[in-house]
Structure 1
């Protein structure tokens, strides 16, 4: 069982949750955990959630986490069985049944020195934020870029922290936002979905041999992965993860 240490709303529909898991000895950036809820009548529901913390860093105070703690950020789904409780009902001091961390392919390790391009659609930024935090914690010199597609300036996660990581001289993260419905005030770029041409102008070129980590809705992931393959990027360097929520194309 995991203890709920603290929580914070990231957006009106998303919540970051810090858990303490006895016996946990850290985790890899990009892994996930499975959470099981059991109703009074015995009905059970299990859902997987990406870990948001990375390199011993998280969003909540204090930012440095001991090895037996991690953070999740959960987006509420209107028709969900688990996420509404985690976002609206869970309280500090509660306990959750957790399995994991799980996963060894969609992960970034501090010893990886090659260029990395992170591509997030909506709440798909969560495991990529774990990688960005681990990159900063290791003061890694590996080139790191993030392309983050969100509906509006108010729907993005970790906005202030991402700005701070971009300004980190030791291990900078280049962040590029795409706004699909509403752009920030004063923006010279109109909101709209990504096109293949616009996308390729915003990501590392094939000549750099980057590794791609892509997370978002299934249509988003399939579209951008296809654009990368069409542009002669190595399919073996394109790693994808999809979430089950409602989402559209880029």
Structure 2
């Protein structure tokens, strides 16, 4: 089977993002709504680079997946605060509406969903963020039928966008507490098999360990390795 070819937009130049809204929906996280000057429309699954510049000229930058769909006039980023993260600590602790900083994007064609072909989305923890952009895009275009979703987190309270994902019919797997009639457990092939459909591309995002395990499960279910798109992150970011 030929995999769908996704033509991603070329990244725009470094530009200014003005913070329009700030929410802290979960402990150690921040949700930013940004008004980006000259923004280039992105595809669900792409990310932006945020660059901060200190008064002495020192710069630090980090990549963050986009949670908003292309139709949203604002760019939405969801950031997990890392104690040793120069960028994440500033975004989570300091940034307020009206602040500005530099961004560049959208970046990443290899993990972009075209919005027209069936897909199985598998996310762990904050790895659900780019998948939320896909879910929102499907809802905005009336193509929810194209997506199947499975997500995992330690607890429901630690799952970003939990209400939105559950409303989209996501299978939710929690490793530290029961969820409904399901006891605490890790994601298994049994969870993913009912979501499989002919012609799907799989999108997997999460920590390196989660991404590796989920990718192996999907290949074991019969997905061709080339049809499993993986985005993983470590302690320092995406």
- TM-score, reference length from structure 2: 0.86
Pick the aligned partner of 1:79 from 80, 84, 87: 84
Give the Cα separation in 2 of the matches to 1:202 and 1:232. Answer: 13
Deviations 1:152-206 (A, max 9, x none): 0101111222344x3xxxxxxx31000011224xx322112224x434445315x
The 3-state SS of whatever aligns with 1:11 is coil
CA distance in 1, matches of 2:59, 2:194: 43
- Alignment equivalent of 2:44, drawn from 4, 25, 29: 29
Q: Distance in 1 between matches of 2:48 and 2:146?
A: 28
Q: C-alpha deviations, 1:115-161, integer Å up to 9, x for none?
A: 21100000000000001100110101643111010110101111222
| Shift in Å, 1:81 | 1.4
**2:128 pairs with 1:136:** no
Aligned position for 1:127: 130
CA 1:48–1:16: 2 relative to 1, 3 Å: same
Gaps of 5+ in 2: 1-15
**Could you tell me whether the CA contact under 8 Å between 2:111 and 2:230 is conserved in 1?**
yes
What is the aligned-residue RMSD (CA, Å)? 1.9
Cα distance change of structure 1 residues 10 and 153 upon mapping to structure 2, 3 Å threshold? same
CA distance in 1, matches of 2:221, 2:165: 28
State yes or no: 1:192 paired with 2:182: no
SS in 2 for 1:154: helix
What SS is found at the alignment partner of 2:83? coil
Q: What's the CA shift string for 1:4-47, capped at 9, x where partnerless?
A: 01111121121110111111142211110001112333322110
Decide whether the 8 Å contact of 2:70 with 2:137 is kept in 1. yes
In 2, Cα distance between equivalents of 1:156 and 1:209? 29
Does residue 203 (structure 1) correspond to residue 158 (structure 2)? The answer is no
Residue aligning to 1:10: 25
Number of residues paired by the alignment?
222
Report the Cα distance in structure 1 between the residues aligned to 2:99 and 2:120, rounded to whole angstroms.
Answer: 37
Normalization by structure 1: what TM-score?
Answer: 0.82
Whether the 8 Å contact between 1:29 and 1:51 is mirrored in structure 2 is yes
1:53 aligns with 2:53: no
Cα 1:221–1:94, aligned 2, differ >3 Å: closer, same or farther?
same
Q: Return closer, same or farther for 1:46/1:25 CA change in 2, 3 Å cut-off.
A: closer
State the partner residue of 2:98.
93
Distance 1:216 1:202 in 2: 21
Provide the residue aligned with 1:243 in structure 2.
233
1:176 and 1:119 mapped to 2: Cα distance? 9
